[in-house]
Structure formats: C-alpha cells, structure tokens
C-alpha cells in the first residue's frame, strides 16, 4: 500500500495580498483558529502586525520613505567619497614624488587605482550605514506611532 501526501487544505499565496490577510482568508479570523488547528494541526495562526497596514496610502508612504532613505545614503556616500579621495590622493601623489621606490613602481594607473579604491569603499560603506540607520530610525518611529494609536 502506498502512502499519498494529501493535504486537506492547499494554499496558494498571492504576492499582491499581504500574508496576514491571506492567512485570515484561508483560516478565518483568529477567534476561529482552534477549529482550524483541529482540522490541520500544522496550520500556524498568524496575527497581523500593527505596523502592517493594508492600503495603497501606506504603500506610498513606505515607498517615499525608502526613496528618502536611499537619497540620504547617496548624499552621505558621495561626501565620504570626496573626502576619502582627497585623503588618499595627497599622500599617494606626495610619496610618488619623494620616494624612489614609489616613483619606480607606482605608475599613473596604480595611483588612480589606489585613490579610486579608497573612494569607492568609502562611498559604499557610508551609504550602507546611513541607509540602515535611517531605516532603523523609521522603524522605531513606526512602532512608537502604532503604540500611541493602540
């Protein structure tokens, strides 16, 4: 006799509907969760987060916040890249003029590579830290606002 994997509840989740809404549609409201767990013991009851709002207005706010965070990161990264390129260009060019070893081994391509590597690294590190800090700050602001509304 062969065992067949037949699941009495088959779910097909849509990427356009929030997950908490889909689970409520599939399993009913949280008050009726006990009957659903009796039918399907593997069913997880998911309560919606107070931060998750269903609507286009909240989606627009989230997109605007993401654009603002990324723009802040780009500006901070560009400032850091300018400072890093100046900070590496001065000693690199000075060492090429003064040290015989650097004069013979560091041609123009190597000098440009040293300066641009430092600038690129500074840009990405500072931009990443700025975006993460602003996202963290915004998430704390959202939790505080949801606690005030509750």
pLDDT in tens, the chain (150 residues): 454 444 444 445 455 555 555 555 555 555 444 445 555 556 666 665 555 555 666 778 888 888 998 999 999 999 999 999 999 999 999 999 999 999 999 999 999 999 999 999 999 999 999 999 998 888 877 766 666 665
* pTM more than 0.75: no
Helix (H) or strand (E) holding 108: helix 108-149
Which residues 6+ apart lie within 8 Å of 124 measured at CB?
A: 77
In the chain, DSSP assigns E strands to: none
Cα–Cα distance for residue pair 101/84, rounded to 1 Å = 24
């Amino acid at each position: 006799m062969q065992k067949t994997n037949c699941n009495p509840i088959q779910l097909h989740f849509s990427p356009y509907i929030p997950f908490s809404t889909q689970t409520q549609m599939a399993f009913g409201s949280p008050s009726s969760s006990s009957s659903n767990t009796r039918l399907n013991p593997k069913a997880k009851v998911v309560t919606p987060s107070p931060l998750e709002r269903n609507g286009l207005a909240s989606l627009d706010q989230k997109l605007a916040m993401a654009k603002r965070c990324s723009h802040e990161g780009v500006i901070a990264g560009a400032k850091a890249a300018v400072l890093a390129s100046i900070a590496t260009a001065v000693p690199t060019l000075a060492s090429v003029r003064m040290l015989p070893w650097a004069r013979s081994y560091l041609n123009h391509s190597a000098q440009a590579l040293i300066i641009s590597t430092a600038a690129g690294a500074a840009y990405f590190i500072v931009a990443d830290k700025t975006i993460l800090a602003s996202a963290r700050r915004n998430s704390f602001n959202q939790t505080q606002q949801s606690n005030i509304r509750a």
